[in-house]
Structure 1
Amino acid sequence: MSDPILHDLLIIGAGINGAGIARDAAGRGLKVAILDAGDFGGATSSASTKLIHGGLRYLEFYAFGLVRKALAEREVLLDIAPHITWPQGFVLPHAAGMRPEWMLRLGTFLYDHLARRDVVPGSAHIDLRSERAGRALKPDYRSAFRYWDGWVDDARLVIANLQDAAKNGALVLPRTRVVAARRTEGLWEATLSDGRTLAARRIVNAAGPWADQVARTILGVNDAPALRLVQGSHIVTRRVHMGRDAFMLQQPDGRIIFIIPYERDYSLIGTTERDVASPEAAAVTDDETEYLLAAANRYLLRPLTQDDVIHRYAGVRPLILETGKGDRETTRDYRLVEHPGIDAMTVIGGKITTYRVLAEDVLARIAKKTKRWTAGAPLPGGDMERLRGENGQAAFKRWLDNLLIEQRNYDPGLVKRLAHTLGTAAQPLLEAGLGANLGGVFEAELQHYRDHEWAMTSDDVLWRRTKLGLHLGGPARAEVSRWFGEDPGEVQPDLPMTHRFAAPGV
């Protein structure tokens, strides 16, 4: 074999599930290799609704176990990744002819009490006529419930997990495909697209929407559950919010949509659910855009139009195919499928909120004599000093306040942006100097993303490591392209309307 190092675990797919497994396994002392055919988090894990949530709407389908597990994890993630997460309030208006008010009250009460809350506040009934959030809504909507969940920068959560995996010795390979794998003397021998060969005791297939393809073509098995690929589309519009609350809005077809404050200046509206034949087929349709606009305008005082749509993106959820169940009833829980006799496992489904417990479940099966550790270990960037009894959110706020004082020669907005992106890694970057300003992004930032976060293209930075693609003008985006050695072509003055978040097949 060309690579003499024997790995305990080879993970195919570096979305949030694969990244979480790699971090957990490496921290338990396993020799880990993880690779992805595209950029890390380049598909579903950078195209979510950015929520850490239990799933209030799943209570209608009696999915109490899933909701309880996710609510408990919500507190954990807010604690271990405070720089890229925060508690997010949601306003759920009562709408005539839809779910009655008693049902909303019961649902939010259960949501408050299914799991322990340390950081997230409890729900409350509110009068929209006296609430700031109500100013954005039509006067017909008077009564609502405010409940709480969490927000997360999904793509950065992937990177943070991979950074911790690498710190613990994992081999981390972006844009590297498994071409073939075969069993030799009780081990796996995997041939990679860069010509290397890796040896591993076990393979975990965490390829997300491509998991069934990897199971068949790489592992050579046909016992993985059939997947239902569901496209979730989102649009980014001018900001419609008054204040910091998001909205959870009921629709006449029984669905709900979210309108979430996004990147300071915008609102994020999603999501739809539409079956697609393959991950590569994911693309926001005009019909989906019209649906989301109409769903929002059913409530908004100042209607949105197509001209207000700044950007749109689609991700693909790999759900377990459940015959006879519709979009809303299909489970969002995960399933671990062990392939007997070949030391391989396929991970199916799951939510970004429960990625860490998914990883613990994987390790409980393949490394039974090791201990769980990730719940109490801050992720890179969230590892600021904590006072006795202080949670991660409070520690981050205190650290950021001190950083703003220490770095008062910088624009406070810039310091906050870097702190909420890089966490503690922002401090040495600021102290060393940021270098040339390329129009809103600095050369030292790009060097950091390249040298410490595996960024290889301008898209990796503009749309995944950050969301600066929404904020920078055409000339600045062209400068980022040039910095990465790309031909920027003709500089476009406007944002690309659609950015595809689909990685190439594994």
Structure 2
Amino acid sequence: MTDNYDLLVIGGGINGAGIARDAAGRGLKVLLVEKDDLASHTSSASTKLVHGGLRYLEHYEFRLVAESLREREVLLRNAPHIIWPLRFVMPHEPSMRPKWMLRLGLALYDRIGGRTSLPKSKRVDLRIAPHRNTLQGRLKSGFEYSDCWVEDSRLVVLTAKDAEERGAEILVRTECTGLERNASNWIAHLQSGAGVRSVTAQAVVNAAGPFVDRVAVTALGQGTPAHLRLVKGSHIILSRRFAGDHAYIFQQPDGRIVFAIPYERDFTLIGTTDLLYEGDLDDVAISPKEIAYLIEAASRYFSSAITEDEIVSSYSGVRPLYEDHAASNSTVTRDYVFELDKEGGAPILSVYGGKITTYRKLAEHALEKLGRVLALPGKAWTADAPLPGGDMPDGDFAAFLWRISERYEWLPPEMLLRLARAYGTRIEAVIGSAGSLGELGAHMGGNLYEAELRYLFDAEYARTAQDVLWRRSKLGLHLPVGAQQAVADWFAAETS
């Protein structure tokens, strides 16, 4: 028997999850399939910012920046546990952009998105703490502005979870290996560990990220009319380089910028690069050239040069950008583009580009596009709908943390904060009826207990240690090898 759906979404990154959520909330019967884990590619390899994209103003992408800044407010309101404000300090480098240009750009950045809950930009003296001794003495002044941090892979998982709770079916480790079109629907062949399953759908959304052309070939026998530029971005992670909760944004002689961001309490994240990528999309890793670039970029500003020995980890992702024939990879548009093909039968919508910040709006526009060829129920609804765990009064995370610290006074403060950030109001589902650490099940190491693994397995699609240690969390940076092996052993027992 073949299952029938209104919409098949291929790709479990942020765009696919966002479209599935929006469509399910409008009353469509939705199936999302992801060949690996949710957010296992580009969507977990970002710089982890919800931002307008200050540097896009130089390329006159005013619509994208304005939309992104408006969406920054929406996402901050709807997911205050995994998204929070972050101040960025940009040292003035006399050999690069002049002060008047920076001042003008930041003034526009403060206003172009409309009303904001975040502090405005201002000048900053780099000769005083906390910047003195962190940055090179030649750097005297700069500017400070606001954007937001996001736990990117958790954003994807929570978006998919909300889609499921609104009726969507979410299948991870399930690959669409065949697509056949007729006048009224698509027949899709899905391969998973359980075997091959066939389903039908009135429409298909190809949100496969860097694999978008691979899916298009499966569906249409050829790539889509749009041209794709695959650009690799890599990051390095160092032990904590500077004190304070602020981040730095460093201008580079090639016109690019590199961020240095406090990361996971004990670390500093530095990135990103922009390199044309033509390698294996399933095996993306940082290159020696990129490591050298990031080290040089940050060492140009820090008072003491970075060495390769300081790098404790790295990650890389490939961004599927719409080919606009820009001369530089860093200036290719980050805006999103749709290609709708309905020749010969049921429609397929392919998604190019986009960024985490605009994923919700991208989903709305995708449904609008499909609405031109299908009768879709419902209307846009996601702007005022909190993601799972984000339903806090006034979006006040600090007040929420205070309340649960009184309720779970037996939890160590560091563990309480991590769980509150990861799960928000759903922390109750993680902890259950436990009243002490001993009631959380086996201790895996650090502040990770079996109760959390059970929740991630049952409620958040986690099936391997990697899913937990590097996507549902970043505990892979904190737990010793033995603890990580204990997590792997737990999953092996659950899935055997």
Secondary structure at 1:332 match in 2: coil
1:350 match: 354
**CA contact 1:78–1:85 (8 Å) conserved in 2:** yes
Which structure 2 segments of 5+ residues have no match? Answer: 435-439
Equivalent residue letter for 1:382: G
Task: Determine the structure 1 residue equivalent to 2:488.
Answer: 481
> Structure 1 CA distance, aligned partners of 2:367 and 2:484?
42
Partner of 2:451: 444
Mapped contact 1:9–1:200 kept (Cα < 8 A): yes
**2:325·2:332 contact (CA, 8 Å) conserved in 1?**
no
**Could you tell me which residue of structure 1 aligns to residue 158 of structure 2?**
160
Query: Corresponding residue for 1:375?
Result: 383
Give 1:482's aligned amino acid: D
Q: Secondary structure at the match of 2:365?
A: helix
* Structure 1 residues 464-501: Cα deviation after superposition (integer angstroms, max 9, x where no partner): 000000000011011011111179xxxxxxxxxxxxxx
Q: CA RMSD in A?
A: 1.5
Paired letter, 2:364: E
Question: Is 1:224–1:346's contact at 8 Å kept on the other side of the alignment?
Answer: no
**Retained in 2: the 8 A contact 1:233–1:312?**
yes
Tell me the SS of whatever aligns to 2:492: coil
Match of 1:226 in 2: 227
**Which ranges in structure 1 are unaligned for 5 or more consecutive residues?**
488-506
Equivalent position amino acid for 1:45 in 2? S
1:459 alignment counterpart = 466
Name the amino acid aligned to 2:355.
Answer: K
Give the counterpart of 1:103 among 101, 108, 116. Answer: 101
Quote the residue 2:334 is aligned against. Answer: 332
Question: Do the aligned partners of 1:123 and 1:147 also contact (CA within 8 Å) in 2?
Answer: yes
Identity of aligned residues (%): 48
CA distance in structure 1 between the partners assigned to 2:357 and 2:273 by the alignment:
19
1:360 alignment counterpart: 364
The alpha-carbon deviation at position 221 of structure 1 amounts to 4.7
Give the Cα–Cα distance (whole angstroms) in 1 for the partners of residues 424 and 205 of structure 2: 30
Superposed displacement of residue 185, structure 1 = 5.0
Decide whether aligned partners of structure 1 residues 102 and 167 sit closer, same or farther in structure 2, where only a CA change above 3 A counts. same
Contact persistence 1:212–1:224 (CA under 8 A): no
Question: C-alpha separation between the residues in 1 aligned to 2:365 and 2:59?
Answer: 24
Indicate which of 14, 17, 23 corresponds to 2:15.
17
Post-superposition Cα deviations, 1:258-280, rounded to whole Å, max 9, x if no partner, equal 00000000000000111111423
Please give the residue correspondences for 1:104-123 in structure 2 after superposition, counting only pairs within 5 Å: 104-123=102-121
**TM-score normalised over the length of structure 2:** 0.94
Give the conservation status (yes or no) of the 8 Å contact 1:37–1:176.
Answer: yes
Aligned residues of 2:251 and 2:257 also touching (Cα < 8 A): yes
In structure 2, what is the equivalent of residue 402 of structure 1?
403
Map Cα deviations across residues 259-305 of structure 1 (whole Å, 9 max, x no partner).
Answer: 00000000000001111114235210112111111111111113221
- How much does 1:369 deviate? 5.2
Q: State TM-score, norm by structure 1.
A: 0.92
Instruction: Identify the residue that residue 254 of structure 2 maps to in structure 1.
Output: 253
Alignment of 1:54-69 (within 5 A): 54-69=52-67
Aligned-partner residue type, residue 110 of structure 2: D
- Distance, in Å, in 2 between the alignment partners of 1:457 and 1:192 is 21
Change beyond 3 A, Cα 1:486–1:303: farther
* From 131, 134, 148, the counterpart of 1:133: 131
The answer to whether the Cα contact below 8 Å between 2:177 and 2:218 also exists between their aligned partners in 1 is no
CA offsets per residue over residues 119-178 of structure 1, 9 Å max, x none? 221100111112413441111111010011110000000001110110011110001011
Contact 2:14 2:156 in 1 (8 A): yes
Q: Distance in 1 between matches of 2:426 and 2:454?
A: 13
Q: Are the counterparts in 1 of residues 341 and 347 from structure 2 also a CA contact under 8 Å?
A: yes
Aligned to 2:232, the other structure's residue is in SS state strand
Residues 337-382 of structure 1: per-residue CA shift (max 9 Å, x gap): 1002331110011111100000000111224552111010000011
Aligned counterparts of 1:129 and 1:292: Cα–Cα separation in 2: 25
Please state whether the residue corresponding to 1:485 is helix, strand or coil.
helix
Secondary structure at 1:180 match in 2: strand
One-letter amino acid of the counterpart of residue 352, structure 2: I
Task: Work out whether residues 126 and 141 of structure 2, in 8 Å CA contact, stay in contact via their aligned partners in 1.
Answer: yes
Q: Is the 8 A contact 1:14 1:41 kept in 2?
A: yes
1 CA distance for matches of 2:49 and 2:362?
17
Q: Distance between the aligned counterparts of 1:332 and 1:223, measured in 2?
A: 19
